[in-house]
Homo-oligomer: A and B are copies of this chain.
Amino acid sequence: MTTPTAPQSLSSIMDGNSFQARDLDTLPAAERELITRRMAALGPSYRLFYKAPVHAERAEGCYLYSPDGTRYLDAYNNVASVGHANPAVVAAVASQMSRLNTHTRYLQDGIVDYSERLLATLPAHLDTAMFTNSGSEANDLAIRVARLWTGGEGVVVTAEAYHGTTELLSRVSPAISGGFPDDPTVRVIPAPDTYRVDTEDMGAWFAARVREAFEDLQAHGITPAAFLADSIFSSDGIFPDPAGFLHPAIEVCREFGALFISDEVQPGFGRTGDTFWGFERHGIDADLVSMGKPMGNGIPVAALVGRSEILGRFGKEVPYFNTFGGNSVSIAAAAAVLTFMQDTDLRSSVASVGADLKAAISGLTADLPWVGDVRGRGLYIGVEVVRDRDTREPDSVRALELVNAMRERHVLISVAGPGNNVLKVRPPLVFGGAEVALFAERFQDALMAVERR
């Protein structure tokens, strides 16, 4: 039971797969020059992926293209969820932009229509929506709302959680908490690591961790406000299963009078294939639901949804206005995404294609002693690269070799988890059979290359 502490190095979510300036001389002149200009103008916060960064110029569907015409299979990006340059989204944005783009202090049909459609995808008690520009703004707002509602301050998160970029969120994102002071109101619990935790009942085990955290908060005189988690435990290393294991934890959360904030930035909008929202897979209720990344297919738009009594109290007591939040164009993008998903029954496709992709990965790695686990749901798959299957010790070096071997073979993936050793395979949701076949072919080749080293 600890508050977040500074990691020894920049954590996986930020640095695991980063280009290092020392490799600059290995790159072609054009990229070398552009990276040098970039480093001068943007500074060191701006890290690039891969030993040899990908120079992106255009993209379509599941493919990115560099200026020289090289095609990359995108098995990483969850923002362009309905496909890069999705024509329906492009058309909706262009049309709305040429007509009107303004804020929510004027009456507009678009935001009302979309809100009703969005709320219809959620359980009936989640009946109010507020719009922001990023999942970060939504999570920041969620914690403010939970604290006002409960009168408490205490927030519980998992060990490698990442919930966004604001100062408040840096305090509840142990994955990036380096350089910032501990926060006495935050408690960090272990992730539901089904690969390493020795338990027959993950539900009971995880609920016990949540209980300990809330008890520790109370013991320090801090009233519980929220348990904040994404139900796929993305930055912890991808732990979606078994579906339902979150149920006892949420019961504990309720017992302590805290709200459950379901961070759906990663699992939401059909990513898991099973349900439209990640928390629904677990058969649980959420009090507040934050969402972002894929919502507008890349146009900044995000939201916080919750029960009307909770968001209503905040709205009455605390002035909140978000200039760009819910602007006409962002809403048009979000509406086009939702229409595309519904018209194409994208979630069903995610379920079947995701199962095929996972089966292919499992098949190719079944005999490799340094691949310990293949897990995930829908189009979010994690592959544990380890020293060996007995110790299960993370092997970040080999994982990153594999990531870079895939990049050399023009397939984009990255790593997750506290050990930087879980391959993160998380393509656009329009991934199809052809993409699974291409991925498998390149993955087999990359595995062999890395195996041989």
Report how many residues on chain A are interfacial, defined by Cβ distance under 8 Å: 107
Q: Are B11 and A319 in contact (CB under 8 A)?
A: yes
**A137 contacts the other chain (Cβ, under 8 Å)?**
yes
Contact B165 A322 (CB under 8 A): yes
Total copies of the chain:
2
| CB–CB B135/A134 < 8 A | no
A79 to B49, CA, bound (A): 33
**Distance A77 CA – B102 CA, assembled complex (angstroms):** 9
Do A48 and B107 touch across chains, with their CB atoms under 8 A apart? yes
Chain A 1-22 residues near chain B, CB threshold 8 A: 10-11, 13-15
**Known contacts A100-B85, A300-B324, A311-B43; A107/B55 CB under 8 A:** yes
Q: Give Cα A64–Cα B108 distance, bound, in whole angstroms.
A: 12
Q: Which residue of B lies closest to A37 (CB)?
A: B112
Q: Please determine whether A318 and B56 come into contact, CB atoms closer than 8 angstroms.
A: no
Interface string of A73-89 (1 = CB under 8 A from B): 00001011000110101
A440: CB under 8 A from chain B? no
Report yes or no: B54 in contact with A80, Cβ–Cβ below 8 A.
Answer: no
Bound-state CA distance A311–B43 (Å) is: 7
B58 & A80 in contact (Cβ 8 Å cutoff): no
Complex contacts, A107 vs chain B, CB 8 Å: 31, 34-35, 38, 48, 53-56
**CB of A336 to closest CB in B, whole Å:** 11
Q: When chains A and B are docked, how far (Å) is the Cα of A59 from the Cα of B97?
A: 10
**Cβ distance A33 to chain B, nearest Cβ, rounded Å:** 10
Interface of A is mostly: mixed
A275 contacts the other chain (CB 8 A): no
Identify which of B106, B179, B312 contacts A53 (C-beta below 8 A). B106
Q: Which of B45, B112, B317 contacts A38 (CB 8 A)?
A: B112
Assembled-state Cα–Cα distance A208/B108 (Å): 47
A134 close to B324 (CB less than 8 A): yes
A137 to B137, CA, bound (A): 8
CA distance A349 to B371 in the complex (A): 65
A269 to chain B, nearest CB (A): 14
Sampled A-B contacts (25; CB under 8 Å): A34-B109, A41-B115, A41-B116, A43-B312, A44-B315, A45-B311, A46-B315, A47-B321, A48-B107, A55-B106, A57-B99, A59-B101, A79-B103, A85-B101, A132-B165, A134-B323, A136-B137, A144-B167, A144-B180, A165-B325, A166-B167, A167-B167, A167-B168, A170-B318, A292-B323
